Each structure stands twice: as structure tokens, then as C-alpha cells.
Structure 1
Amino acid sequence: MSRPDLLSARTRLRKRLPPRALLKGAAFLLLILGGYGLSFWFDFSELLHPERITGWLQQAGPWAPPIFMALMATSVVISPIPSLPLDIAAGATFGPMLGTAYAVFGAEIGAIASFLIGRMLGRDVLAKLLRTNVAFCERCSDRHLAIFVLLARLVPLFSFDVISYGAGLTNMSLRTFAFVTFVGMIPPTFALTYAGSQVASGAWLMIVSGLAMVAVMLLLPKLVVRYPTARWVQFIRGGMPVALAPNDMGAAAKTPCSSCGGPPV
């Protein structure tokens, strides 16, 4: 490429990506890479052991709930930080009911933050590059996207953090995302906090029942894929909507989500 052509290409790139968009893109990239970089410096599995977290929270006194919710929100925004030990520690420290409430509210804050980061930073840079308003699955309605996010929250088929960032790149409204995320988190979070509370109490019968609840939640993804509910998985991958029966494939082309050309997020 000649020098004039190179200068012309640089000029076009600057027009497509003004400094503000570049700064947003760089901030988004640094946030993601920074989180993964921390995983190489710190052994989160050891640092965030449930017993250690419980000790910290007990020493925090009345500040324990806001500190815990801040930790939970951070674990959602920064993907390598595990949230499972936090759920267990919440049950051991606050009990199953309050532990579930604090864990759900903390994760909700983190999920909304990730959603907004994905929408304001990642989507903006893509829009400048492609010279169009970027929105994945533009023909998918809020209802279809809500079903996908709700399913992803109820059963861990996909990363919680990735779903939150990815949802921000769709046309899904923040209100719908926040609602289905909140509702979908409650059952699995309660199972984990309940198990943590029973481990702390030392009641072996309750410990076994709590672990059984966790096992059921972990087995649900395999059941969803293996049995007739596999239509949910087909829906996630961009196929026919869940409401359609297999013999309604002809009508699937007319539905909003089947014409997306790819998965919702």
C-alpha cells in the first residue's frame, strides 16, 4: 500500500472511530483483560474460600451486608472471580433467607452493570466500525430474549457474566433483563445459600438435603439437553421458538426469532 493510500485509510478509520469511541472501546477491553489478568496474579479459589469469606464478614459487623453485596457485584462484572464461594459463605453467615436476598441483590447489581457496559461500550464501538446501529438479533422480541435469559439463569448452560454482557448487545430492554435475571437467580441461589447455612450449622441431615438441592440444579442442564426439553436449547441456538411444536416448522420462518440468523446473544 502506498503512503497516500495508507494516510487515506487512517483518515477513514479516524472518521469511523472518533477519540471518544476509541476510549470507550479501550476501557471495555481493559476491563475484560484486567479481570482475566487478576486470575494469574491471585488464586481466587484459595483467596475466596467460603470459610475465609465467612470470617471476614463476621468481623465486618453491621457492614457485612453491603460489603458482601459489593463483592458479589464485582464477581459478576469481573468474570474470573468466582461467585460460588460467595453464595455458600452468604448462607453460612446470614442464613438461607437473608443470604439469598443479599446474594441475589448483589448479583443483580453486577448483572445490570455488565449489561450497561456491554451496551454503552462494546455496542458503540461496533456501531462506529460498521457505520450502523449494531444490535444482535434485531427481530427478536423482548419476550424471546427474556425466555433465553431466564433459562440461562435457572440452569447454568452458559456463563452468568457472558450472558449479562451479551444481553447488552441485543435490543432487550434493561427493565426486562433486570426482571428476568432477578427472578431466574432466586432458585439456584437459594439452593447454594441453604447448603452453606446447613454446613455451618453442622446438621448432617440438612447438609445432605442441601447438597441434594445443589446437585439437582447442576443436573438440570443435562436433562434440558437430553430430554424433550431440548427444544429450549434449539431456541437458544437461534432455531424455532419454544412455543412451536416440531410439526410447526413451516410456520417457524414467520416468527421473530427464527429469522435472526443466529443465537439471541
Structure 2
Amino acid sequence: MMATGDMTQTTPKENKKKAHLLPLLIIGAGAVAFVLFGGLDYLSFETLRDNRQAILDWTQQNYGLAILAFILAYHVAVMFSLPGAVWLSLTGGFLFGTVEATAYIVVGATAGAVGIFLLARYALYDFFHARVGKTLKRMEKGFQDDALSYMLVLRLVPLFPFWLVNLVPALLGVRLRIYTIGTFFGIIPGAFVYASVGSGLGALFAKGETPDVGVIFSPEILTPMVGLAVLAMVPVFYKKWKNRGKA
């Protein structure tokens, strides 16, 4: 005869919550594994400098495959929120030139951002709304009213981490179409800046110098980007002014 005791059993609801969190746990584990196993060593100026000729030769011999590999690498880097995306952007500019690299960066980064956006919405939306309640709902309402303008500002001005801007709109109920459009167009200026720096790496290699990855924060680069962000907010300012006039 088998003895019976208190058995802790998970309910279907609890199992569902765990299943929802599983994708994000996989993403987190992948990012940690990448760092622990030395992945950051491959996303560096030194790696590109020391292997530049071999990388260039392979790219020229397998151009179509190189494009796909680069876009996929960028997609994975953004999807897993891996550090080192700046070096991928520089590498893209070095291999493909400014204009082509910008296009590939934007496609890969947007695809990765959409992926993590969908996972965050699937795993965390109900969790946060159940706990934060009315406060989050008020934020959600304000953000959704002018979601595209806010998305463009968040993408244009590099003040917030890219991974954070990927997650927050998912928790505020931003529509996927708006999120994708805002991400795609909002990251073009930054991608262009880093790709253009990358396209000039050959000259830096010859001089033994390193690129200035903080160039995007220089006044001559940051000021036009802030100007674009202000322009993106014009519809929001106009709507608030118009509504105040009606009050």
C-alpha cells in the first residue's frame, strides 16, 4: 500500500504562466551564455582589425550569403539583447559600404526588435497589467494616443538602451504595425552614422587608429537627430494645443 502525502501540484493557470515566461528565459540564458563563452571577443575592433582581409575575401567570394549572414547576425544580436551591436554596424559599413550596410542594419535590427517585442508581449503583458493596474493603464492610454511619434523619438534620440525601447512599447499595448514602422524609420539615422564610420575603417587600419564609437553623441550628429525627434513630436504638441483651445 502506497503512502500518500501532501503533493504540491501546479494548476493549469500556473503552467500557462510558466510557459509564457519560457521564451524570455531562453533569451536571457542565451545572452548570458554568449558573454560567458567569450562571444564579446568576436564583437570588437581588434577582431575585425586582425581578421579584416580574410573577412573581406570571404565576403567578396560569397556576397549574397554574406548579406544574409550579416542580417541574421544583427537579428540575433538584437533579439537576444547582446552587447556589441555597434561593432556589427561598423563591420557592416566596412564590408558593404555606407548605404548598403545601413539597409542591412535596419532590416536586421527591425526584425530582431519585432521578435523581442512579440515575446515580451506574450510573456509579460498580462503579468505587468495584473500588478501595476490603473497606473500602467493611464500610461498606456497616453502612449497609444501618439504611439508613432513617441516611437520615433525613442528610436531617434540615443538616450535609452535599445533593448529597453524594445520592451516598453510591448507592455504599453502599442500596435505591432506602429511599433515596426517607428522602429524601421527611427533607427535609420543612427544606422547610417555607424555604417559611415565603418566604411572608413580601412583608412584607420592603415594609420593604426581606432574608430570613435561615441561619434553619434557629437553635437554635429546629435543635433540633427534631436531636430528630427522634435519634428516627430509636432503632431503631439499640435493635438495638445488644439485640445486646450477647446477646453
Q: CA 1:218/1:144 → structure 2, altered by over 3 Å: closer, same or farther?
A: farther
Distance 1:107 1:79 in 2: 11
Match of 1:118, SS? helix
Q: CA 1:54/1:118 → structure 2, altered by over 3 Å: closer, same or farther?
A: farther
Distance 1:211 1:33 in 2: 28
Q: Determine if contact 2:71/2:104 at 8 Å carries over to the other structure.
A: yes
Residue 161 in structure 1 maps to residue 163 in structure 2: yes
25, 37, 43: which is aligned to 1:41? 37
Moved more, 162-171 or 112-121: 162-171
Deviation, 1:24, is 1.9
Q: What is the CA RMSD across the aligned residues, in angstroms?
A: 4.3
Q: Determine if contact 1:36/1:79 at 8 Å carries over to the other structure.
A: no
Deviation, 1:21, is 2.8
Residue 86 in structure 1 maps to residue 88 in structure 2: yes
**Number of paired residues?**
223
Distance 1:42 1:54 in 2: 22
**Larger RCO, structure (CA 8 Å, separation 6 or more):** 2
Distance 2:12 2:214 in 1: 57
Match of 1:22, SS? helix
**Aligned letter for 2:58?**
Q
Residue 176 in structure 1 maps to residue 178 in structure 2: yes
Match of 1:79, SS? coil
Distance 1:57 1:117 in 2: 35
Match of 2:158, SS? coil
Deviations, residues 186-239 of structure 1 (Å, cap 9, x unaligned): 1111011011112225699xx9xx989634379739x96xxxx9xx8xxxxxxx
Q: CA 1:191/1:80 → structure 2, altered by over 3 Å: closer, same or farther?
A: same
Q: Which runs of 5+ in 2 are unaligned?
A: 1-5
Distance 1:124 1:54 in 2: 50
**Aligned letter for 2:94?**
A
Q: How does 1:171-210 map to 2 (within 5 A)?
A: 171-201=173-203
Deviation, 1:85, is 0.3
76, 79, 82: which is aligned to 1:77? 79
Q: Report the counterpart of residue 3 of structure 2 in structure 1.
A: none
Deviations, residues 57-100 of structure 1 (Å, cap 9, x unaligned): 64151300010001101111112332100110111100001011
Q: Determine if contact 2:128/2:171 at 8 Å carries over to the other structure.
A: no
Q: Determine if contact 1:69/1:103 at 8 Å carries over to the other structure.
A: yes
Q: Report the counterpart of residue 152 of structure 2 in structure 1.
A: 150
Q: CA 1:122/1:195 → structure 2, altered by over 3 Å: closer, same or farther?
A: same
Q: Report the counterpart of residue 11 of structure 2 in structure 1.
A: 14
Q: CA 1:16/1:203 → structure 2, altered by over 3 Å: closer, same or farther?
A: closer
Distance 2:237 2:114 in 1: 28
Q: Determine if contact 2:144/2:172 at 8 Å carries over to the other structure.
A: no
Q: CA 1:55/1:215 → structure 2, altered by over 3 Å: closer, same or farther?
A: farther
Q: CA 1:213/1:38 → structure 2, altered by over 3 Å: closer, same or farther?
A: closer
Q: CA 1:88/1:47 → structure 2, altered by over 3 Å: closer, same or farther?
A: same
Q: Determine if contact 1:195/1:214 at 8 Å carries over to the other structure.
A: no
Q: Determine if contact 2:74/2:108 at 8 Å carries over to the other structure.
A: yes
Higher helix share: 2
237, 240, 243: which is aligned to 1:243? 237
Q: Provide TM-score, normalisation by structure 1.
A: 0.67
Moved more, 33-42 or 105-114: 33-42
Q: Provide TM-score, normalisation by structure 2.
A: 0.72
Deviations, residues 132-189 of structure 1 (Å, cap 9, x unaligned): 8x97533125353322221121121111112112211122111111111111111111
Distance 1:37 1:97 in 2: 33
Distance 2:127 2:157 in 1: 31
Q: Report the counterpart of residue 102 of structure 1 in structure 2.
A: 104
